[in-house]
Amino acid sequence: MRIPCPYCGPRDSSEFSYLGDAAPTRPDPAAPGAEDAFFDYVYLRDNPAGPLEELWFHASGCRQWLKVLRDTRTHLISGAVFARPKAEVAR
């Protein structure tokens, strides 16, 4: 399996470490109900069968966190972008 790192080009998946679903975002810790929101954020995942945007870390490469679009049924990887928003990357 290869991941097209936007910085390094297509690289073998063994260079990356995997985190999981990229969708959950860290809740506002000051908002009401933060405890429930954090419980969801830490533990609850959808586990869809199909395309899923996931976080991968290019540990043996550019050390960038990537959002990789992978089909969980076929392992087909159809793209990867930096997890850091564009404006921040450019800085």
Partner 1 sequence: MSRLATGGLIDRSRPLAFTFDGRRYTGFAGDTLASALLANDVKLVGRSFKYHRPRGIVSAGPEEPNALVELRSGARREPNSRATVTELYEGLEATSQNRWPSLDLDILSVNRLVAPFLGAGFYYKTFMWPSSFWEKLYEPFIRRAAGLGRAAEGDDPDHYEKANAFCDVLVIGAGPAGLMAAKTAALAGARVILADEDALPGGRLNAETHEIDGAPGHAFAAATIAELGALPNVRIMTRTSVFGVYDGGTYGALERVSDHLREPLPFQPRQRLWRIVARRAVLAAGAIERPIVFGGNDRPGVMAAGAVETYANRYGVAAAKRLAVFANNDGAWRSAFAARAAGIEVAAIADVRPTIAPALLERAKALGIRVIAGGVVAGTAGKTLARIDIASGSRTDRIAVDGLAVSGGWSPNVHLTCHHGGRPVWREDIAAFVPGALPPGLSVAGAAGGTFSLAGAFREGFEAGAAAARDTGFAAPALDAPRAEDESVALAAFWHVAGSRGPAFVDPQNDVTAKDVAIAHKEGFRSVELLKRYTTLGMATDQGKTSNVTGLAIMAELTGAGIEATGTTIFRPPFTPVAIGALAGHHRGTEFRPVRLTPTHGWADEQGAVFIETGAWLRAQYFPRAGESDWLESVNREVKAVRSGVGMIDVSTFGKIDLQGPDAGVFLDRVYINTFSTLAISKARYGVMLREDGMVMDDGTTARLGEQHYVMTTTTANAAKVFQHLEFCLQVLWPELDVQLASISEQWAQIAIAGPRAREVLVGVVDPGTDVSDSALPFMGVAEARVLGGVKARIFRVSFSGELGYEIAVPARRGEDLARALMAAGAPFDITPYGVEALGVMRIEKGHVSGNELSGQTTAGDLGLGRMASTKKDYVGRIMAARPGLTDPERPSLAGFRPVNPAERLRAGAHFVPVGGPADAAHDQGYMTSVAYSPNLGHWIGLGLIRRGQERIGEKVRAHDPVRGGDVEVEICAPCFLDPKGERLRG
What minimum distance in Å lies between the beta carbon of 19 and Zn ion? 15
**Interface positions, 22-51, toward partner 1 (CB under 8 A):** 26, 29-30, 34-35, 38-39, 41-43
- Of these partners, Zn ion, partner 1, none, which one is at the site of residue 62 (CB under 5 to 8 Å by kind)? Zn ion
65 contacts Zn ion (rule: CB under 5 A): no
Q: Taking Cα atoms as reference points, which of 22, 23, 6, 1 lies closest to residue 58? A: 6
- Of these partners, Zn ion, partner 1, none, which one is at the site of residue 35 (CB under 5 to 8 Å by kind)? partner 1
> What DSSP state is assigned to residue 62?
T
Q: Taking Cα atoms as reference points, which of 80, 25, 24 lies closest to residue 51? A: 80
Q: Assign 39 to helix, strand or coil.
A: helix
3 contacts Zn ion (rule: CB under 5 A): no
